[in-house]
Amino acid sequence: MDRLDRDVRLGEVFTPAAPIDRLQLFAGREAQRRAVLDAVLQRGRHVAIFGERGVGKTSLASVLHEYLEGLGQSILAPRVNCDDGDDYAAIWRKAFDALRFIEQRRGIGFAPPLEESVRSATSLISGDGPITPHTVRMLLEQLSARQTLVIVVDEFDRVAGRLGTQMADTIKMLSDQSVPATLVLVGVGESVSALIAQHESVERALAQVLMPRMSLWELQQIVDGGLDVVGLRADPIVRDRIAALSQGLPHYTHLITLAAARHANDRAADLVETEDLAAGVRSAVSHAQETITTTHHRAVMSARSDSLYRQVALACALAQCDERGYFTAGAVRRPLAAVMGRPYEIGSFAKHLNEFCADGRGPILEKIGARRNYRYRFRNPLLPPYIVMSGITQGLISDDDAAGIQSSLD
């Protein structure tokens, strides 16, 4: 593969802004994949996939069809995105529009040939009558006679407050009537109740699949697997650092690896090394989403050069947290000492933590618990990896020290 080809291919393999839609590039997620497939293959079961922003929910839903095709199933699996103003009918119109099937019809005359035409399921809806759970059931029943149907309703958290109950009714009806079609609701949320309010009523019909952050091992797979496709390799240290810097969020793994690999390719190397990683991190910082960079800037800006906002934010981003992303003030001490080169007591940065929880500087953090026992969490999970990388490029911490702290966290 020549340099130019490889540069283009890298952009197809590492897609920080787009979900994975090919199984070949999809890493890990064995347990979640199995849970979703089990539900799809069992009549009367439906699925809710939920988790933090950016952990890979849409990607899992998008590779399902390829997986099922691999099992020899003929499958239709459209994915629709919910928009803020959508009502129940709007979502189903999008789904039916995307559900295309081939219809065979005999022409006219003596021994007429079979004629095939592609139709969308919208053409089966009569006139402009309302679309209700009942209409949906009838239509899905009709369509599922021909093929396995999986309907992915993505970004459902945007409309769940208004439509959660109606969607639960739909699930219940599809399940009770044993319609062989699977509904997969996908959205951001800590628990399934972010998607379906009274989920107890559909408990048995609904597989609840929590997408956790990716493990270091899974992130390493993304680096190695992707580079392998274009005939490159990463120095194991580089691969492990990219995984640690990503903090479980594959978006950053794609962003950093893409830039690092392009840097290696530019110098005609087959091995992605630490100098390429440094360039990758710089590029990831300068190409971060604007919402992330402005949020960070607002949180740490100060007229005084000796203020600690930037350093405390960095220490928070490196702090050991629990599986839900919460950390204590005590956990900020160690990374802050690494950044400042000397220990700091909680009293000297408590004010910074408080300000990070208030409007003036964000809020970038939220806190729970009682006084003296607060736990903090970044409101946007995509912020901490950015803060760490920008701390490295600004020389607030060395990449060695950042890696040392992060690898002791997983």
Find the shortest distance in angstroms from Cβ 18 to ligand ATP: 6
Q: Which is nearer to ligand ATP, 3 or 53 (CB)?
A: 53
Q: Which is nearer to Mg ion, 241 or 251 (CB)?
A: 251
DSSP 261: H
Considering only residues 199 through 238, tell me which ones interact with ligand ATP, judged by CB under 6 A: 222
Q: Choose the contact partner of 16 out of Mg ion, ligand ATP, none; CB within 5 to 8 A by kind.
A: ligand ATP
Considering only residues 26 through 85, tell me which ones interact with ligand ATP, judged by CB under 6 A: 26-29, 53-59
Q: Which is nearer to ligand ATP, 49 or 357 (CB)?
A: 49
Query: What is the number of the residue whose Cβ is closest to Mg ion?
Result: 58
Q: Which is nearer to ligand ATP, 12 or 270 (CB)?
A: 12
Considering only residues 247 through 276, tell me which ones interact with ligand ATP, judged by CB under 6 A: 250-251, 254
Find the shortest distance in angstroms from Cβ 349 to ligand ATP: 31
DSSP 108: S
**What pairs with residue 149 in β-bridges?**
76, 181
Find the shortest distance in angstroms from Cβ 14 to ligand ATP: 8
Q: Which residues contact 75 (CB under 8 A, 6 or more apart)?
A: 65, 68, 69, 147, 148, 149, 150
The site that binds ligand ATP (CB under 6 A) totals a number of residues, namely: 22
Q: Which is nearer to Mg ion, 58 or 253 (CB)?
A: 58
Would you give the binding string for Mg ion spanning residues 32-61, x where CB under 5 A is met? --------------------------x---
DSSP 363: -
Given a contact cutoff of 8 angstroms between Cβ atoms, the answer to whether 55 and 250 are in contact is yes
Q: Choose the contact partner of 56 out of ligand ATP, Mg ion, none; CB within 5 to 8 A by kind.
A: ligand ATP
Instruction: Name the nearest CA neighbour of 254 among 392, 396, 379, 382.
Output: 382
Q: Buried b / exposed e across 281-299, counting CB within 10 Å, b at 16+?
A: bbbbbeebeeebbebbeeb
Find the shortest distance in angstroms from Cβ 28 to ligand ATP: 6
From residue 226, how far is each of 6, 37, 187, 258 by CA, in Å? 12, 24, 26, 9
Q: CA 175 to CA 231: how far, in whole Å?
A: 47
DSSP H stretches of helix in 235-349:
236-245, 250-266, 274-286, 290-300, 309-318, 330-340
Query: What is the number of the residue whose Cβ is closest to ligand ATP?
Result: 56
Instruction: Name the nearest CA neighbour of 129 among 160, 184, 89.
Output: 89
The site that binds Mg ion (CB under 5 A) totals a number of residues, namely: 1
Residues that bind ligand ATP (CB under 6 A): 15-16, 18-20, 25-29, 53-59, 188, 222, 250-251, 254
Residues that bind Mg ion (CB under 5 A): 58
